[in-house]
Chains A and B, each alone.
Chain A
Amino acid sequence: MPNKILILFAHPSQHRSEVNLPLIETSKTIEDVTVIDLYAEYPDYCIDIEREQQLLREHDIIVFMFPLYWYSTPSILKEWQDLVLEYGFAYGHDGTELHGKKLLCAITAGGSETAYKTHGYNHYTIRQLLRPIEQTATLCGMLYLPPYALFGSRTALEDGKVVQHLENWKGILDCLRHNRIDVERAETAEKLNECVKQTLGMNP
């Protein structure tokens, strides 16, 4: 049985989206993938905890998909974490519902890749910046995979990078579904591309 993938999509201004929206539309066409548009489901932020927890139970791999906002997630995804990852469900005594599942972030970042380096103007890599999510996953007993990121997203369309990004994502979803992941490399790799076992040629 292939893995079931849950994509939690958080984008507050989708009418301006150039990368995330095509990414989500592509994801919807793929088998075993469930897409939840958080801002569409809960425009008033009243998240249905019961429903969200049930969705988590039903899937093996959880994807946070979002544009990077101030080195973190858009606010609804933080709200989602605060509400859904309850004590007794996700962590703590008896909180074992998420054990053994995988979590990863698929993000778009405005800055160039060189900016997200120790000596770049953002000083930290994406993986470093998203440490809170990594630790959240660890505490909940989940395996954290490195982020899948598109840099320079504001001009990606003009630079013609979107099509390749979409193709790569399709390949990654396929690898995720069929467990073609190098789990050991995932512990330290900066980028998801480095630890998927690709069958087809892919630009890292």
Chain B
Amino acid sequence: MTAYFIQAFIYLCAAVIAVPLAKRFGLGSVLGYLIAGVVIGPVVGLVGEETETLQHFAEFGVVMMLFLVGLELEPRMLWSMRNRLLGLGGMQVTLTATAIMSISLLFGIDWRIALTIGLILALSSTAIVLQTLNEKGLTRTEGGRGAFAVLLFQDIAVIPMLALIPLLEIPELAETAQSLVAQTTDTHGHLELISGLPNWIYAMVVLGAIATVVLGGHYLSRPLFRFVAQSELREVFTATALMLVIGIAALMSLVGLSPALGTFLAGVVLANSEFKHELETNIEPFKGLLLGLFFITVGAGIDFAVLVQNWMLVTTLVAAVIVIKAGVVYLLARTFGIGSSDRWLVTLGLAQAGEFGFVLLAFSLQNNVIPADIAQLLALVVAISMFLTPALFIFFDQVLVPRFETSDAQREEDVIDGKGSVLIAGIGRFGQIVNRLLVANGIETIVLDHDARQVDNLRQLDVKSYFGDATRPDLLETAGLKEVDLFVIAIDDRERAVELAQHIRQRCPRLAILARAFDQIHYYQLKQAGADFIIKETYHAALDMGCEALTRLGFHPFRAEQLKNAFITTENETVEDMYQSWTSSTESGISPGYRELFMQQEAAIRAAMKSDRSDRHSVSERGWNPPPKGYAEEIANTTDADDIVDGNLSGNN
């Protein structure tokens, strides 16, 4: 037990130190984990043989990652980017894999190994690239979208690759592996249900398992989640999410399919579910930690002896990989009409190999597709090309962007093109109306509410809404807090609305927050919390009612409208003073100064309502004041119109 604690501590400690440092130097978290692994493994030698066992366990992070990738794949979004996805992405994977395979064949490598190498190196690093694009605010540019399409295609392409690689098994490698395995009485395979079944039954079992995932995900998950959500126990929901992913992984292993494939499918099935964001939020930390662990084990497994012995070869290979990958993407970007600096962004952004390369490497090694020495070499190539990515981005920023500065007009269009998206927290009687107006105008909204029944009702009315507690920071992140242009707070809980405003202001200083207040004090609280626009929910409704009352009492409707506007104007003039006074008032109650200001405001409003026609400063009727009686004669007598014109001409500089 003590040994486990010590090991766990070493791993966590390495991650805790290395990852924040790597982020600070702009290297990204993936590289941070790799560095941590390198340090505790080959450099210091704190960890040893257990890394391989750990790696099998950590691979479950990849399974979870594919579940999350699946969850993100809404059919509608996929359809809208089908050209880029299949064209740009598909061609990138195919051409790069073919090019690298051909070169490997030239060096006399077995075709099966060559193909595997091609597939492994065709992938780029989703984690590094998306994070960097996000940090630099480039996700919405032409180049950013192109890169996203390619990365998404690669993430999906991993699934068929995982299915393909076992078919490439090389018997000689299998033999050597088996002789090794024989010594350690392996558990491999004996839990599989399918050993010894006739082929047609096997096919039925596989189809049955897939059907279970798809149909179960579609029909059974909702009642289950709703049942769990109504218990309002957060940890039970987390348990349910884990149960779902682990259950599917177990089922797939039992029938001899890839667990990653199964969870990916389940993710796609649940992509339209109202529980999507809640699921993502619950799985995300597990995925993050396990993937981190996976990268640490990869780093720990890097053999420095290999690097030192073959440094010439490794350097050449890294350079070749970057040149080939960049070349393919550059040509494709040109074909797909991605212009100027954006083309270079995609090209340099996707020139590295990626984290899925490690996954496929480990997988190929297990399946005896690739010899251990080549795998070692490739792991170095993948890792070093990833290390170089930040350097390529710096090269793009410093050298290439200035050259394209003149074609900035193009970038402006990008901004106008996107209509923007809005996150709405709370879809009760207030949020609903806001949402309807926005959606009717084709604006994309993401709606969150913590009441599963409410979300369910709205879904039946075709309102795209998600179950989830909007005051949870992690849920906001997965719902896309970083991507939206506006945030609307319309939740019923007063205190939590204020906390939410504070949190968003801290997290995204420039995101505009529109908040609904219950009353004046709540208004001040939200203002203090950093909301940009606040509206009291009853204010305009009550004023309209007052206006109607005035009309029914004999005021002319237009005059009543003017009085209402004068009321609003006068009140707005004092709101800042009242707010200042409120911020200085004590906990115990309203300060005397505030009360005084309130009375002054009331007096100002009463004064504004007075309809003294001769008073030029009457707010309510300003502008429709007729000139004084007899003014026409005055103008005719005192100033001849011609005089004015003459005076004007001469007096004009």
* Cross-chain contact A84 with B641 (CB below 8 angstroms): no
B108 at the interface (CB under 8 A from A): no
Asked whether A100 and B623 contact (CB < 8 A) given A93-B631, A179-B653, the answer is no
Asked whether A100 and B651 contact (CB < 8 A) given A46-B565, A49-B623, A87-B625, the answer is yes
* Cross-chain contact B649 with A143 (CB below 8 angstroms): yes
* Cross-chain contact A49 with B634 (CB below 8 angstroms): no
A158 at the interface (CB under 8 A from B): no
Bound state CA distance, A43 and B626, in angstroms?
25
* Cross-chain contact A138 with B651 (CB below 8 angstroms): no
Interface residues of A in 31-73 (CB under 8 A from B): 44, 46-47, 49
Asked whether A49 and B622 contact (CB < 8 A) given A87-B631, A138-B641, A138-B645, the answer is yes
The 8 Å CB contact of A99, one of B624, B627, B647, B653, is: B647
Among residues of B, the one whose C-beta sits closest to the C-beta of A50 is B622
B648 at the interface (CB under 8 A from A): yes
* Cross-chain contact A138 with B644 (CB below 8 angstroms): yes
Bound state CA distance, A87 and B630, in angstroms?
13
Q: How large is the interface on A (under 10, 10 to 19, 20 to 34, 35 or more residues)?
A: 20 to 34
Given contacts A49-B622, A86-B622, A141-B644, 10 further A-B contacts (CB under 8 A): A44-B565, A83-B622, A83-B623, A86-B623, A88-B616, A91-B627, A99-B651, A141-B647, A143-B645, A143-B652
* Cross-chain contact A183 with B649 (CB below 8 angstroms): yes
Residues of chain A contacted by B201 (CB below 8 angstroms): none
Asked whether A87 and B628 contact (CB < 8 A) given A46-B569, A143-B648, the answer is yes
B3 at the interface (CB under 8 A from A): no
Residues of chain A contacted by B653 (CB below 8 angstroms): 179
Bound state CA distance, A143 and B653, in angstroms?
12
Interface residues of A in 168-195 (CB under 8 A from B): 179, 183
Residues of chain B contacted by A138 (CB below 8 angstroms): 641, 644-645
Residues of chain B contacted by A49 (CB below 8 angstroms): 622-623
Residues of chain A contacted by B565 (CB below 8 angstroms): 44, 46
User: 1/0 per residue B569-593: CB within 8 Å of A?
Assistant: 1000000000000000000000000
A92 at the interface (CB under 8 A from B): yes
Among residues of A, the one whose C-beta sits closest to the C-beta of B562 is A46
A163 at the interface (CB under 8 A from B): no
Between B622, B634, B648, the greatest number of chain A beta carbons within 10 A of the residue's beta carbon is seen for B648
* Cross-chain contact A142 with B623 (CB below 8 angstroms): no
**Could you give 29 example pairs across A and B, Cβ below 8 Å?**
A46-B565, A46-B569, A49-B622, A82-B623, A83-B624, A84-B623, A86-B616, A87-B625, A87-B626, A87-B627, A87-B628, A87-B631, A88-B616, A91-B627, A92-B627, A92-B635, A99-B647, A99-B648, A99-B651, A100-B648, A100-B652, A138-B641, A138-B644, A138-B645, A139-B635, A139-B641, A141-B648, A143-B645, A183-B649
B442 to chain A, nearest CB (A): 13
Between B641, B647, B652, the greatest number of chain A beta carbons within 10 A of the residue's beta carbon is seen for B652
Residues of chain A contacted by B631 (CB below 8 angstroms): 87, 92-93
Instruction: Give the B interface residue count (CB, 8 A).
Output: 22
Residues of chain B contacted by A183 (CB below 8 angstroms): 649, 652
* Cross-chain contact B623 with A91 (CB below 8 angstroms): no
A181 to chain B, nearest CB (A): 9
Between A82, A84, A91, A179, the greatest number of chain B beta carbons within 10 A of the residue's beta carbon is seen for A91
User: 1/0 per residue B594-634: CB within 8 Å of A?
Assistant: 00000000000000000000001000001111111001001
Among residues of B, the one whose C-beta sits closest to the C-beta of A3 is B653
A146 to chain B, nearest CB (A): 15
Bound state CA distance, A82 and B626, in angstroms?
10
Asked whether A91 and B635 contact (CB < 8 A) given A83-B622, A86-B623, A143-B652, the answer is yes
Residues of chain B contacted by A102 (CB below 8 angstroms): 652
Residues of chain A contacted by B625 (CB below 8 angstroms): 86-87
* Cross-chain contact B648 with A142 (CB below 8 angstroms): yes
Residues of chain A contacted by B644 (CB below 8 angstroms): 99, 138-139, 141
Which 8 pairs across A and B sit closest by C-beta, in order of nearness?
A83-B623, A87-B627, A141-B644, A100-B651, A143-B648, A46-B565, A92-B631, A49-B622
Among residues of A, the one whose C-beta sits closest to the C-beta of B643 is A141
Residues of chain B contacted by A47 (CB below 8 angstroms): 623
Bound state CA distance, A142 and B645, in angstroms?
7
Among residues of A, the one whose C-beta sits closest to the C-beta of B635 is A92
Bound state CA distance, A88 and B614, in angstroms?
12
Bound state CA distance, A86 and B623, in angstroms?
6
Among residues of A, the one whose C-beta sits closest to the C-beta of B624 is A82
Interface residues of A in 12-38 (CB under 8 A from B): none
Residues of chain B contacted by A84 (CB below 8 angstroms): 623
Residues of chain B contacted by A179 (CB below 8 angstroms): 653
B605 to chain A, nearest CB (A): 16
Residues of chain B contacted by A44 (CB below 8 angstroms): 565
A129 to chain B, nearest CB (A): 21
Interface residues of A in 86-128 (CB under 8 A from B): 86-88, 91-93, 99-100, 102
Among residues of B, the one whose C-beta sits closest to the C-beta of A83 is B623
Residues of chain A contacted by B616 (CB below 8 angstroms): 86, 88
Residues of chain A contacted by B626 (CB below 8 angstroms): 87
Interface residues of A in 122-165 (CB under 8 A from B): 138-139, 141-143
Residues of chain B contacted by A86 (CB below 8 angstroms): 616, 622-623, 625
Bound state CA distance, A46 and B625, in angstroms?
15
B138 to chain A, nearest CB (A): 26
B420 to chain A, nearest CB (A): 15
Bound state CA distance, A47 and B627, in angstroms?
19
B653 to chain A, nearest CB (A): 7
A68 to chain B, nearest CB (A): 24
A4 to chain B, nearest CB (A): 12
Between A49, A82, A93, the greatest number of chain B beta carbons within 10 A of the residue's beta carbon is seen for A93
Among residues of B, the one whose C-beta sits closest to the C-beta of A183 is B649
Among residues of A, the one whose C-beta sits closest to the C-beta of B641 is A138
Residues of chain A contacted by B645 (CB below 8 angstroms): 138, 143
Among residues of B, the one whose C-beta sits closest to the C-beta of A95 is B627
Bound state CA distance, A70 and B652, in angstroms?
33
Bound state CA distance, A44 and B564, in angstroms?
13
Residues of chain B contacted by A82 (CB below 8 angstroms): 623-624
B613 to chain A, nearest CB (A): 12
Bound state CA distance, A138 and B639, in angstroms?
12
Interface residues of B in 86-136 (CB under 8 A from A): none
Among residues of A, the one whose C-beta sits closest to the C-beta of B619 is A49
Bound state CA distance, A91 and B635, in angstroms?
9
B413 to chain A, nearest CB (A): 14
The 8 Å CB contact of A93, one of B569, B634, B647, B649, is: B634
Among residues of B, the one whose C-beta sits closest to the C-beta of A1 is B653
Residues of chain B contacted by A46 (CB below 8 angstroms): 565, 569
Bound state CA distance, A47 and B653, in angstroms?
31
Residues of chain B contacted by A91 (CB below 8 angstroms): 627, 635
A66 to chain B, nearest CB (A): 20
A127 to chain B, nearest CB (A): 16
Bound state CA distance, A84 and B623, in angstroms?
7
Among residues of A, the one whose C-beta sits closest to the C-beta of B627 is A87
Among residues of B, the one whose C-beta sits closest to the C-beta of A100 is B651
B635 to chain A, nearest CB (A): 7
Among residues of A, the one whose C-beta sits closest to the C-beta of B649 is A183
Among residues of B, the one whose C-beta sits closest to the C-beta of A91 is B635
Residues of chain A contacted by B634 (CB below 8 angstroms): 92-93
Bound state CA distance, A83 and B641, in angstroms?
23
Residues of chain B contacted by A141 (CB below 8 angstroms): 644, 647-648
Bound state CA distance, A171 and B631, in angstroms?
41
Bound state CA distance, A142 and B616, in angstroms?
23
Bound state CA distance, A25 and B213, in angstroms?
57
B308 to chain A, nearest CB (A): 61
B2 to chain A, nearest CB (A): 70
Bound state CA distance, A87 and B616, in angstroms?
9
Bound state CA distance, A44 and B561, in angstroms?
11
